[in-house]
Structure 1
Amino acid sequence: FLGWCAAVILAGAAAGLLGLTLAVLFERPAGVIRFLSYAIFLHGTIILAATAVIYRKKRLAALAALAGVMLLSLTAVRAFLLEPHWLEVNRYRIVAPKITRPLRIVVIADPQIDKIGHYEREVLRLAMAEKPDLLLFAGDYIQAFREDQQRLCREFNELLREMDIQTPLGAFAVRGNVDPLQWMEIFQDAGVRAVGETRSFDLGEVQLTCLGLRDSYRTSPVRYPPTGGRFHILLGHVPNFALGNGDADLIVAGHTHGGQLQLPWLGPVVTNSRLPRKLAHGFNVLPGGGKMIVSRGIGMERGYAPRFRFLCRPELVVVELVPGEEGATDERK
């Protein structure tokens, strides 16, 4: 009997190793992650359940196997069913000596829509309910197969137009790395200015520089007009550009999803950026003195990837810029 169990385990391990090798050779990275998630949460649960039955007369071994089944099942429920739509609204208060009145900025990053439903509508409703002075879209709006992209651009555009976006300082969008070539159609006549190449905008006491996708990947300093003492915001999709522009007053980016999978004490496992892991999500102060916010995004990786988040809830970012003296304390609510 024990020999039979060992043979089954070895056969399963060999099949898993063969499958992983084929996935690495012929699949995209997202496909490899999908394969591993199936191996852990589906096959792992089955094997542990079978182990509990086989060793039911050995109480300790059976209880340990059942505990493993419960742990994997609860983790799967949280990661695949709860967290992907468990939106968190994170508020950051930043003291800005260069402005004379409070300003509210809302950041929407990485929806990565492959269909539009209640969750996407609710996120936009919450964003507009904040009554922002400035609305920033940080890229990755649609992630779908080519035959669906045109339809989704049209549907997303209709949704934005329903929201009747009106903000005192405007609404701006930059391109993400998964967006289709016709991404600007999403924002046509919707009250949002889509910016395809690096360009600066004078918004009174604020200067906003929107980065083209290629420039957001670079770590060299961005060229922009003199700020004239205005509060300078740099908006880009991939946060790599923060490494060369730490003197900007505020850097806003997305792309990393906060790792989408975080582990206790480690944080994000993968960030797909050149930033150190601790800088790849949330609020940080850069060596040059500038503030940086990298949003975890409101969506998740789609396409060939498994649809999950773990210990990394989607977020809507709200930034409160308040006048104050240099050196005053910033805070997160």
Structure 2
Amino acid sequence: MRPALAAAGAASALGLGAAAAAHLWARHVEIHRYTLREVELRILPPGTRTIRILHISDIHLLPEQQRKLDFLEHLALLRPHLVIDTGDNIASAAAIPVLARALDPLLRRPGAFVMGSNDMFEPMPKNPARYLLPDPRPEGMTDPKEPTLPVGELAERLSAHGWKDLTNARARIELGGLEVRLVGVDDPHLELDEMPAAAEAPPPPVHGKVLHLGVAHAPYRRVLDSFIADGADLVLAGHTHGGQLRLPGIGALVTNCDLPRRQARGLSTWQGVPLNVSAGMGASPYSNYRLLTPPEATLLTLRAPQPSPVR
């Protein structure tokens, strides 16, 4: 065999070996490496006590996923002041009661949620390469199908102890001297989002301190722009899975929406406002793998600005 051909064969074999190793890691190891990501923001009004927000998203739960359930139950030990769930909670109807049991301690804390498409429609096998292509649906098309999952039952379970349903809705939550004003939309990926109208004259906060949160499943630009125009201090979203497959030096290949790839996960800004995109905890059972973006929940610690030094 000529040296050049031998070298090419060796390189090809190495490439195939590396691809096989990456597949095994993504499918059998990283998909179970549940991680808590912690960030800190100084966006609260001066004099406000510190609050902790637990952001969970894209659980895609099947009842038999015990390691994922263990992680969900462990999150209650964080004792967050507020829980925000940005959707895609389930992968089957049978997962709803199992999810409710795992989340029960968190459901008894102040919280709010929106839904994603996988809370409404059962997952189906798809060609993974489709996600590398532009969205095939015509612009402005709303999915006309009836949900195949009992999304109403899921909403009842999530709101049973007081979590606010932000499906194209607004809500207020009082957190010990801080009024959290929330606005949310239905899943933008299905083009079900409708920004709820603002009250003409919202009542003044009891303690004079307000935090505005925008909440959506999929961080499409039009939705982010609407939240910013509405006065959001912080926007929370999921949907992207952090790209689900990331490459060294490149990062996320896709976001499955029109959000820039560099913002596929973690804390960034949109028009100067903090945006946290959760990489989520799971994936479709038909594409249950992750590479260089382990499943996660996020604990956001919000503080007031540091006082200016006395001169």
TM-score range, shorter chain: 0.7 to 0.9
CA, structure 1 residues 143+236, in 2 after alignment: closer, same or farther (shift >3 Å)?
same
- Residue 308 of structure 1 is matched in structure 2 by 289
Return the letter of the residue paired with 1:263. Answer: L
From 160, 168, 172, the equivalent of 2:103 is 160
Q: Which has the higher contact order (CA 8 A, sep 6+)?
A: 2
Residues in 2 aligned to 1:68 and 1:214: alpha-carbon distance in whole angstroms: 39
From 198, 208, 212, the equivalent of 1:224 is 198
Contact 2:237 2:278 in 1 (8 A): yes
Q: Output aligned runs, 1:102-117, within 5 Å.
A: 102-117=50-65
Contact 2:108 2:161 in 1 (8 A): no
Q: CA-to-partner distance for each residue in 1:272-302, whole Å, 9 max, x for gaps?
A: 2222222232111222x31110100011123
- Residue 283 of structure 1 is matched in structure 2 by 267
CA, structure 1 residues 274+69, in 2 after alignment: closer, same or farther (shift >3 Å)?
closer
Residues in 1 aligned to 2:306 and 2:197: alpha-carbon distance in whole angstroms: 28
Measured after TM superposition, the shift of residue 307 of structure 1 is: 1.5
Structure 2 residue 107 is the aligned partner of structure 1 residue 136? no
Fraction of identical pairs, as percent: 24
Return the letter of the residue paired with 1:84. Answer: I
Q: Which of the two has higher C-alpha Rg?
A: 1
Residues in 2 aligned to 1:294 and 1:326: alpha-carbon distance in whole angstroms: 29
Measured after TM superposition, the shift of residue 92 of structure 1 is: 0.8
Return the letter of the residue paired with 2:227. Answer: N
From 258, 269, 286, the equivalent of 2:242 is 258
Measured after TM superposition, the shift of residue 59 of structure 1 is: 5.7
Contact 1:164 1:190 in 2 (8 A): no
CA, structure 1 residues 205+267, in 2 after alignment: closer, same or farther (shift >3 Å)?
same
Structure-2-length-normalised TM-score? 0.74
- Residue 196 of structure 1 is matched in structure 2 by 167
Residues in 1 aligned to 2:254 and 2:24: alpha-carbon distance in whole angstroms: 22
Structure 2 residue 217 is the aligned partner of structure 1 residue 237? yes
> Which residues of structure 2 form unaligned runs of 5+?
120-148
Residues in 2 aligned to 1:220 and 1:164: alpha-carbon distance in whole angstroms: 28
Measured after TM superposition, the shift of residue 164 of structure 1 is: 6.4
> Which residues of structure 1 form unaligned runs of 5+?
1-53, 328-333
Residues in 1 aligned to 2:233 and 2:219: alpha-carbon distance in whole angstroms: 15
Structure-1-length-normalised TM-score? 0.69
* Alignment length (residue pairs): 262
Contact 1:249 1:290 in 2 (8 A): yes
- Residue 31 of structure 2 is matched in structure 1 by 84
Measured after TM superposition, the shift of residue 222 of structure 1 is: 5.7
Return the letter of the residue paired with 2:78. Answer: E
- Residue 10 of structure 1 is matched in structure 2 by none
Q: CA-to-partner distance for each residue in 1:111-159, whole Å, 9 max, x for gaps?
A: 0112343222222123211110001111011123xxxx1x222222233
Return the letter of the residue paired with 1:244. Answer: S
Higher share of residues assigned helix: 1
CA, structure 1 residues 218+227, in 2 after alignment: closer, same or farther (shift >3 Å)?
farther
Q: Output aligned runs, 1:1-333, within 5 Å.
A: 60=7, 63-98=10-45, 100-144=48-92, 149=93, 151-161=94-104, 163=105, 165-167=107-109, 170-179=110-119, 180=149, 181-182=151-152, 183-187=154-158, 189=160, 192-203=163-174, 204-214=177-187, 217=191, 223-225=197-199, 226=202, 228=204, 230-240=210-220, 241-246=223-228, 247-287=231-271, 289-302=272-285, 305-325=286-306
